[in-house]
A and B are shown apart, each in its own frame.
Chain A
């Protein structure tokens, strides 16, 4: 299958390693990969902050870039939820019937990364090895919008050497919420403090998730507090351990 990667704007600029890891995992599974350089952003920041009109051109741009793909894989559940929950509505507000139709045609081909592996490809064991104590933070959108359920956990359980530690109140938000973390910085920080305490209580060395946005938020505090807990996107864990065996890129 020819898979197209939508890296997302913040992963592109801040977390390129996640994108490399997605490429690594999927190519190892034997899929052709492409990256369309015209891509920018899904429009979530504008939409969720109330800049609805401003989000529409960004959405239109996304649809134009990916209209003809076989599958788009996105290592960010919140961007996927933006598309599934809000794209049609945005196009309707704009009164663009053609855009509505294009979105309806494109949506079934859009996948979050872990969802693509398990639901589309039927793969749980990607042959990774990661000998570390890890805890998993279930991001809000992965749970309540994409309904990923235990998909990321199933993937983690197949990773060699990985010691998965359950976290308390896994279902509670880390407090990021995009511009919420700035507009309501105090409340966001209080929510983060609870989440960080739960992460630290697991004794894990690494906290993982399917969204780097939550992880950026968590690590912001873990680093400020000078803890030794790191964060890593699920894709980076799944890309670990077999790079050596594989030698050079496929």
Chain B
């Protein structure tokens, strides 16, 4: 399978990319500051919900049910959306989606498009593709605008510029918008962005969006947002093109009741999003004259087929798992080298790539379980991480070099020892003797070779004591005082 996706991401292994991020203390500080704030807000508005666990369960069941019958709900959505005057396009991969969208924009002879924050657009590399064909995409979400102007990459899929602080934004705006001195208060920055964007909303005729929910029984769509830029893009232009992953469908309008409670609370710590837009097809004299929706597969169908990992597609992109993740806190989003960062990115990205890329991501977790605890649709991320690690190991074991890798040899050896207590006891005795060259005078191991050096770069290890528990038990309890086995009885 040759999917040219996310071409502008480097795809270094996580440990390598993370090491670089860890050295950027400003970014780390920005990320920790921002995630702490969102996390505190989220905890507060979740705690006030007596039925939070029921809502999580309902959300999980609705999403799991939909995925089991995805073909049915997608066809139903297509019928109802078409009936309401929308045009439904199916894109099996990123390339097809880019081609469809480019054609639609070119039909309008548009040289610019305005965009609402959409991660699927980022996933298919839409901006670069449009630019290559002489069309200028203009991001209208404040954070996405910051990313676009700074030629940066999103590091969080709800708060894409989470890694940038106000002073940095002020500097960027002054330079890129050719402004005289502006302040760095939120209102100063918002005013600058508003002035810059208003003109675009009123002039540009084509908008591109993503989507939070596709509603099967009405053929409608739903987008929630905080800034109102989305509402502008959804209502002012003549043509609206939405590119949405096929997993985003829900059976019924009524199901929004659950998600419009859990999504804003989980995502931004708000009881309700400031702007909730739902629409259905086109209506003369009201909103866009043309509505196109591109349903994107791009590696999603194979995930559906994997029973263990299917729950990955339940995700509603709230990013609560990023905000709570202790790994994300340290590295920020760029270390994941993917549109989808954090714990959900660690399971989604490699699967979207058919486990051919991002294979270090399932290991980018201490399996602490915080992500599962906050997930509003109960995706058991640690369980999926382990399942994907299993796939990585099996892939590696199928190659000659993988079979001979130190990890594989070490794990096979350990499995051999753990199969029998006699072998394990003997290995313990060998370890007690074998460790001696490594043990310092203070009784600690301060250096270890090969992959174990990762431990001793920042930590000492207490040496193995001379007597294991099993030896102590045998000596003191089974054969007390004289070392002889007590007579059977």
Contact = CB atoms under 8 A, between A and B. Distances in A.
B228 interface: no
A99 to B, nearest CB: 15
A52 B411 CA distance: 11
Contacts of B444: 223
Interface string B418-450: 111100100010010000000000001010000
- Name the 7 nearest CB pairs between A and B, nearest first: A177-B366, A220-B459, A50-B389, A185-B454, A173-B368, A16-B469, A144-B369
Given A40-B420, A50-B393, A145-B369, A13 B415 contact: no
B195 interface: no
Contacts of A43: 418
Interface stretch (A112-120, A186-194, A235-243): A186-194
Contacts of A173: 326, 366, 368, 370
A49 B459 contact: no
A176 B366 contact: yes
Interface of B: 14-15, 18-19, 22, 326-327, 329-331, 362-370, 372-373, 383, 386, 388-394, 407, 411-412, 414-415, 417-421, 424, 428, 431, 444, 446, 451-452, 454-455, 457-462, 464-465, 467-470, 472-474, 477
B369 A220 contact: no
B330 to A, nearest CB: 4
B393 A49 contact: yes
B424 A183 contact: no
Contacts of B420: 40, 61
Contact of B415 (A20, A51, A216): A51
B469 A184 contact: no
B213 to A, nearest CB: 29
A100 to B, nearest CB: 16
A15 B468 CA distance: 8
A189 B457 contact: yes
A50 B386 contact: yes
B473 A35 contact: yes
Nearest to B442: A223
A191 B424 contact: no
Contacts of A85: 383
Given A20-B472, A45-B414, A50 B366 contact: no
Given A46-B415, A54-B415, A12 B428 contact: yes
Given A50-B389, A187-B18, A188-B366, A57 B415 contact: yes
Interface residues of A, number: 67
Contacts of B407: 49
A16 B411 contact: no
A216 B472 contact: no
Contact of B424 (A15, A40, A171): A40
Interface of A: 7, 9, 11-16, 19-20, 35, 37-41, 43, 45-55, 57-58, 61, 85-86, 89, 140-141, 144-145, 171-173, 175-178, 180-194, 216-217, 219-221, 223-224
B369 A54 contact: no
B387 to A, nearest CB: 8
Contacts of A39: 421
Nearest to B325: A173
Interface residues of B, dominant DSSP: helix
Given A140-B369, A184-B15, A186-B19, A216 B326 contact: no
B418 A41 contact: yes
B464 A185 contact: no
B465 to A, nearest CB: 6
A54 B413 CA distance: 10
A61 B418 contact: yes
**Most chain A CB within a 10 A radius of its CB, from B369, B393, B418:** B418
A221 B459 contact: yes
B472 A16 contact: yes
Given A45-B411, A57-B419, A220-B455, 9 more contacts: A9-B418, A13-B464, A40-B417, A41-B424, A140-B367, A183-B363, A186-B22, A190-B330, A220-B460
A7 B459 contact: no
Given A16-B467, A180-B366, A189 B459 contact: yes
A25 to B, nearest CB: 15
Contacts of A188: 366, 454
A16 B468 contact: yes
B155 to A, nearest CB: 15
Nearest to A44: B367
B462 A216 contact: yes
Contacts of B14: 184
A110 B380 CA distance: 23
10 contacts: A9-B418, A20-B472, A46-B414, A49-B393, A50-B386, A58-B418, A187-B364, A191-B327, A192-B459, A224-B446
A140 B362 CA distance: 18
A223 B458 contact: no
Nearest to B16: A186
Nearest to A19: B469
B458 A187 contact: no
Given A46-B411, A173-B326, A216-B461, A184 B428 contact: no
Given A11-B469, A61-B419, A172-B326, A220 B461 contact: yes
